[in-house]
């Protein structure tokens, strides 16, 4: 974050800075909501949640180097006190955005957002758990360019199905500046739900994708033995060769999205191609390829991948050729981050499951993440549990576990 004094922060968020020592201090580090992520010069936002209260971690934040705490009540140390910490964070974000005056690119999609967030402009990832979330973020960030990568099954339960997800993602382009005002909506032509958003935006629409009707497109996509794609990048006026260092054919779509954004701000095709060809993985646990001494190739995709991510990891494994030639055997195992929380909630709800070591016995849930158990209905309503299913083939065996807890 840009350097700000506590007095400036207090004015921006309509808060107060109690004490005489506080207002002169300057925040020079990041704003964090987890005390374990505090670094020197940080501002720690203490949010009171249902299970824990961030104010209780203020001493730890100060010890780690936090300059001050943003909270809803005073703590023993420099702080800014507000009525609502979350609202204050959005006000603070608005202040920083106004001070920087950058070209803002808003980015949303069910998968792939982190892969594309690698440009020199201010790129804001805008996720959503329910309708209206992206509208709120767009009003805070005020992007001139809005991009929608794809529409997938993430959060279908809170958004009313896949069409509800599409409507929520479309919030990214509805409130963009008009075409005359310099607004651009960048849409994935290969996703029909995303392409349909062209009718919902006042901005200039640019499509990207594999198809010939996309303004920014890839031609002659060819994967190598490691699954890394090469293709010819075409923009409305130029073309240039690209050789990705990121494995997986799905990275072509991510590369085209980044290329479309760069093209919108005037970057020439040869510079775009050079940047794409030099990009390397930056997120640990996201499609990391590790070669073992015994010849086994491990594809690590353990960082909370959605179901579409599971399929992409499997597709990558199928396209990857074993070292030394031959057919080889491919085995994939995917997990879910925070799986423990579902088991905890299941136990609290009184759901029962069947232990695979005692398949004839149903009892209140005491399983642990990774056991491959699926919960049945609440105790007294029948149900039980089954082992997590495996999708098998002649040479491929992919299992997803544990499965989402659900009532039988």
List CB contacts of 180: < 8 A, sequence separation 6 or more: none
Residue 97 φ then ψ, to 5°:
-60, -40
- Domains in the chain, ordered, with CATH? 4-92 (3.40.1390.10), 102-278 (3.40.1190.10), 339-400 (no CATH)
Which pTM value belongs to this model? 0.67
The Cα–Cα gap between 68 and 77 comes to 7
Of 13-27, 154-168, 175-189, 306-320, which gets the smallest average pLDDT? 306-320
Pairwise CA distance, residues 324 & 209, whole Å: 34
Task: Work out the angle between the directed axes of helices 162-169 and 133-141 (0-180°, nearest 10).
Answer: 10
**Phi-psi category of 182—alpha, beta or left, where left has phi over 0 and alpha has psi -120 to 50?**
left
Residue in 110, 119, 101 with CA at minimum distance from that of residue 164? 110
Question: Strand pairing partners for 206?
Answer: 186
In the chain, % of residues over pLDDT 70: 69
Tens-place pLDDT, residues 230-286 = 999 999 999 999 999 988 888 999 999 999 999 999 999 999 999 999 998 777 776
Q: How far does Cα 305 stand from its chain's mean position?
A: 9
Q: Is the dihedral of CA 277, 281, 286, 291 positive or negative?
A: positive
* Cβ atoms of residues 189 and 211 within 8 Å: yes
What angle separates helix 269-278 from helix 251-264, to the nearest 10 degrees?
140
DSSP state at residue 387: B
* Nearest to 339, CA basis, from 372, 297, 300: 372
Residue ranges of E strands in 97-175: 104-108, 122-125, 145-148
**Strand, coil or helix: 354:** strand
The band of 102, judged by pLDDT with boundaries at 50, 70 and 90, is confident
Look over the chain and give the mean of its residue pLDDT values, rounded to a whole number.
77
Question: DSSP secondary-structure letter at 52?
Answer: -
For residue 189, the tally of other CB atoms under 10 A from its CB is 21
Confidence (pLDDT) at 289: 76
3-state secondary structure 216-285: EEEEEEEECCCCEEEEEEECCCCEEEEEEEEECCCHHHHHHHHHHHHHHCCCCHHHHHHHHHHCCCCCCC
Q: What is the rounded distance in angstroms from the CA atom of residue 241 to the CA atom of residue 252?
A: 13
Whether 122 contacts 105, CB under 8 Å:
yes
The SS3 call for residue 292 is coil
Distance between CA atoms of 70 and 83, rounded to whole angstroms?
A: 10
- Condensed to tens digits (0 to 9), the pLDDT of residues 104-163 reads 999 887 654 444 444 468 888 898 888 899 999 999 999 999 999 999 877 777 778 888
DSSP bridge partners of 79: 69
| Residues composing the chain | 408
């Amino acid at each position: 974050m840009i350097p700000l004094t506590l007095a400036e922060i207090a004015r921006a968020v309509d808060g107060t800075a109690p004490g005489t020592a506080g207002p002169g201090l300057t925040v020079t580090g990041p704003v964090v909501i987890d005390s374990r992520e505090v670094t020197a010069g940080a501002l720690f936002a203490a949010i009171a949640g249902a299970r824990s209260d961030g104010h209780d971690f203020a001493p730890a934040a100060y010890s780690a180097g936090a300059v001050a705490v943003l909270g809803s009540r005073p703590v023993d140390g420099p702080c800014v006190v507000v009525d609502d910490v979350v609202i204050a964070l959005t006000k603070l974000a608005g202040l920083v955005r106004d001070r920087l005056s950058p070209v803002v690119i808003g980015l949303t999609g069910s998968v792939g957002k982190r892969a594309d967030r690698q440009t020199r402009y201010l790129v804001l990832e805008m996720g959503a758990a329910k309708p209206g979330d992206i509208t709120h973020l767009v009003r805070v960030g005020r992007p001139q360019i809005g991009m929608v990568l794809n529409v997938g099954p993430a959060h279908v339960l809170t958004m009313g199905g896949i069409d509800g997800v599409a409507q929520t993602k479309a919030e990214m382009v509805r409130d963009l500046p008009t075409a005359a005002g310099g607004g651009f909506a960048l849409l994935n032509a290969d996703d029909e739900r995303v392409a349909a958003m062209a009718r919902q935006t006042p901005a200039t629409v640019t499509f990207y994708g594999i198809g010939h009707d996309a303004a920014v497109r890839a031609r002659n996509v060819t994967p190598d033995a490691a699954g890394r794609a090469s293709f010819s990048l075409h923009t409305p006026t130029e073309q240039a060769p690209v050789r990705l260092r990121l494995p997986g054919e799905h990275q072509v779509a991510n590369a085209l999205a980044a290329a479309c954004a760069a093209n919108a701000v005037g970057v020439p095709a040869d510079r775009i191609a050079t940047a794409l060809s030099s990009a390397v993985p930056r997120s640990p646990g996201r499609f990391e390829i590790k070669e073992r001494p015994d010849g086994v190739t491990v594809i690590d995709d353990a960082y909370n991948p959605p179901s579409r991510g599971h399929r992409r990891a499997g597709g990558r494994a199928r396209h990857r050729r074993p070292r030394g030639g031959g057919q080889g055997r491919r085995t994939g195992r995917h997990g879910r981050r925070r799986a423990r929380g579902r088991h905890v909630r299941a136990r609290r709800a009184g759901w029962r499951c069947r232990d695979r070591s005692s398949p004839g016995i149903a009892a209140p849930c005491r399983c642990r993440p990774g056991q491959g158990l699926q919960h049945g209905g609440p105790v007294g309503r029948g149900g039980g549990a089954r082992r997590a299913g495996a999708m098998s083939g002649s040479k491929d065996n992919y299992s997803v576990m544990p499965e989402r807890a659900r009532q039988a």
